[in-house]
Amino acid sequence: MMYKEPWSKRHKKNTGGLQYSFSNSFTEPLTTRELIDYSLARGDEQLVDEYYNHPLDYTANGGSLDLREAVSEFYGPKISADNILIFAGCQAALQTAAYAVLDCDSHSIVFTPGYQSVQQAPEHALSEITKIKLYAKNQWQIDPVEVEKAIQSNTRYIVLNEPYSPAGTVMKASVQKALVAIARKHKITIMSDEAYRLLEHSTDDRLPSMADVYESGISACAISKPWGGCGIAIGWLAVQDMELKQKLVDVQYFGTACPSRASEIQAIMTLRASEIILKKNLQIIQNNLQLLDQFMDQYSDLFEWVRPTAGTVAFVKFKGPLTSAKLGEQLAAEGISIKPTYCFTDDVRDYQDYFRIGFGEEMLPTRLDALIRFVEKHKGTW
């Protein structure tokens, strides 16, 4: 595979350290003090004591039992602690899964625009890939007919990201069922990056996890997005197929097989306080979304979107005379960071007017005020 630079590398050079960041895709970051207070409030003194006094020896390969049990509670009855594999973040999990399933004789189907690791992990495993483009005119929905047409005799992997980043939309239940039926028919593994699951703005929109509904499905998630625990650096894979799990374990052995116990304990603290944390984060999201609705209405001649229904991100189209890359440069010059199209695809032609914004943090109103000042300053020349 030809070496490809990280798409966000250019973005980080242009926007590192800016005062008003719309680039973040996580919820309001947790603090260690919060986690300890949540634990003590529910009478979990033993967990707090372990956090302060645990030995610094190796943890179990693939994660300690208590964390795997805590993670498994967010899945259905087919997923127990034995079906969970813990990683030091989800990035390594995506790579591990690709290496476990694919080789140089395989073919994979991915979707663009999207997170680079989701699209390129199969390439890192030397698989041929077909990229299927998603569009705002179709509400960023996957068309199962297109997927069926893209399948080859050696197709072994379909990689999804649902809820979908960069647009913050949710796949229709009928589409999920159709994709599972296609994959089952052709004996294809589905990897579903579910980083924003549990952040649906309405629980009515929540889909079941891929690991719950498909015997050859893999679900990936992490503490970072729904819970705001980026610095905990814990992610996981959930699978039904124990033969597939063993392949994942074997590949993981050569990567980050042993997560930090301190991170594991913080992750358990987080998951045990999940109801409180998710309620708080969803309230922040809803408050910020109302402000963004007002912005989109006020400047509808300059911006449009498919209104997000999950997560903390939206893919916005700029209708003015600049590409999102040029717009991003002008914004950066005035201390404002967005993520232009080039952060999500290496074929920007169809999406050159789009940029992603994040709205999961309490600081959004201040950042939005800065953006409004920028728009008011420049709209006359647009």
Residue 238's H or E segment, with its range, is strand 235-239
pLDDT on residue 332 = 95
Q: What is the pLDDT of residue 10?
A: 81
Helices and strands (H and E) in the chain: how many = 15, 13
Phi, psi of 224 (to 5 degrees): -65, -55
What type of residue is 279? K
> Which pLDDT score is estimated for 3?
62
Indicate left, alpha or beta for 270 from its phi (over 0: left) and psi (-120 to 50: alpha).
Answer: alpha
Reported in sequence order, the residue ranges of 55-161 that DSSP labels E, i.e. its strands, are 84-87, 107-112, 128-133, 155-161
Which domains can be identified in the chain, with CATH numbers? Answer: 8-31+276-377 (3.90.1150.10), 55-273 (3.40.640.10)
What Rg value do the Cα atoms of the chain yield, rounded? 21
From first to last of the 382 residues of the chain, give the pLDDT tens digit. Answer: 556 788 888 888 777 789 999 999 999 999 999 999 999 999 999 999 999 999 999 999 999 999 999 999 999 999 999 999 999 999 999 999 999 999 999 999 999 999 999 999 999 999 999 999 999 999 999 999 999 999 999 999 999 999 999 999 999 999 999 999 999 999 999 999 999 999 999 999 999 999 999 999 999 999 999 999 999 999 999 999 999 999 999 999 998 778 999 999 999 999 999 999 999 999 999 999 999 999 999 999 999 999 999 999 999 999 999 999 999 999 999 999 999 999 999 988 899 999 999 999 999 999 999 999 999 999 999 9
What span, in angstroms and rounded, lies between the C-alpha atoms of 76 and 277? 21
* pTM of the entire predicted model: 0.96
pLDDT score recorded for residue 347: 85
* 3-class state of residue 244 by DSSP: helix
Q: Pick the closest to residue 308 from 290, 320, 324, 323 (CA basis).
A: 290
- H helix intervals, the chain: 8-15, 32-41, 45-53, 65-72, 90-101, 116-124, 144-150, 173-186, 210-213, 224-227, 242-252, 261-272, 274-298, 324-333, 364-378
DSSP letter for each residue of 88-118: SSHHHHHHHHHHHH--TT-EEEEEESS-HHH
- φ/ψ of 101, rounded to 5, equals -100, -30
The pLDDT value recorded for residue 8 is 86
Question: Which sign does the torsion angle of CA 274, 230, 127, 140 carry?
Answer: positive
In this prediction, residue 2 carries a pLDDT of: 55
pLDDT of residue 14: 76
Find out whether 367 and 358 touch, Cβ atoms under 8 Å: no
